[in-house]
Amino acid sequence: MKVALIGASGKIGGRILAELLQRGHAVTAIARHPQGLPAQARVQAVQGDINHPEALSGLLRGHDLIASSAPFVPGISALLLQAVRGSGVKRFVVVGGAGTLRKADGSLVKDDPHIPKEWLPAINEGGELLKLLRADQQLDWTFFSPAALIGPGERTGKFRLGGDDLIVGADGKSSISYDDYAIAFVDEVEQSRHVRRRFTIGY
């Protein structure tokens, strides 16, 4: 598959890029500063910025699928969707946020009073993107929410998938490693099991 990956130089984006390449896909790796991206076969590293959606649309055209691991900066979601829609590519898989997942008590993750206030603008922007996607009539989108905690860890290939409810392990924690998240992300790229839906992951 020919995949355009926005945010390819980030912590999650870098793992998704590696997973795509390991499985034999060709990737246009898009980042604001692409100099650090790997120089290897099947990777075309290019400079792109969501703040310039018309130019970004041009970079996205001609791909089988667009993936995004762009960070949630307030106001960025509408610009991202403008770029994706303008490209003419229908399939769009995005690294979503966990903030709008439901906890066992029915509240949302983002409403936890222990979340630092400085995190809330990014968390709320993730919710805005999901809202915009659910209203969209053009794209075959998938919004893939990580567990509440995502970070460095083992590549186990063993995890659980769910829908709108936070997945919590036997230890009471909701977590996933970057590498296991990337496995499930590329599974979705290849299999399209959650089209026009949000899904999530956890141990």
C-alpha distances in Å from residue 102, one per residue of 99, 161, 164: 8, 14, 6
Q: What is the pLDDT of residues 8-40, one digit of tens each?
A: 999 999 999 999 999 999 999 999 999 888 788
For the chain, what are the domain ranges? 2-202
pTM attached to this predicted model: 0.96
> Dihedrals φ, ψ of 61, to 5°?
-60, 145
Instruction: Write the pLDDT tens digit of every residue in 153-178.
Output: 999 999 999 999 999 999 999 999 99
DSSP output for 71-98 = ---TTHHHHHHHHHHHHT--EEEEE--S
Read off the pLDDT of each residue in 182-201 and give the average, rounded to a whole number.
Answer: 98
Residues in the chain: 203
Determine the Cα–Cα distance for residues 118 and 85; give it in Å rounded to an integer: 31
Q: What is the pLDDT of residue 168?
A: 97
Interval 86-90 mean pLDDT: 98
SS3 label, residue 126: helix
Residue 94: alpha-carbon gap to chain centroid: 3
Angle at CA 57, nearest 5°, toward 52 and 62?
160
pLDDT of the residue at 39: 82
Average pLDDT, the chain: 96
pLDDT at residue 160 in the model: 98
* CATH numeric code, 2-202: 3.40.50.720
What pLDDT digit, counting tens, does each position of 92-141 carry? 999 999 999 999 999 999 999 999 999 999 999 999 999 999 999 999 99
Single-letter amino acid code for the residue at 66: I
- Three-state secondary structure call for residue 179: helix
Q: Determine the average pLDDT of the residues in 83-99.
A: 97
Cα 105 from Cα 182, distance rounded (Å): 29
B/e letters for 156-174, b = 16+ CB within 10 Å, e = fewer, are eeebeebeeebbbeeeeeb
What is the model's pLDDT at position 171? 93
For residue 8, how far is the Cα from the chain centroid? 11
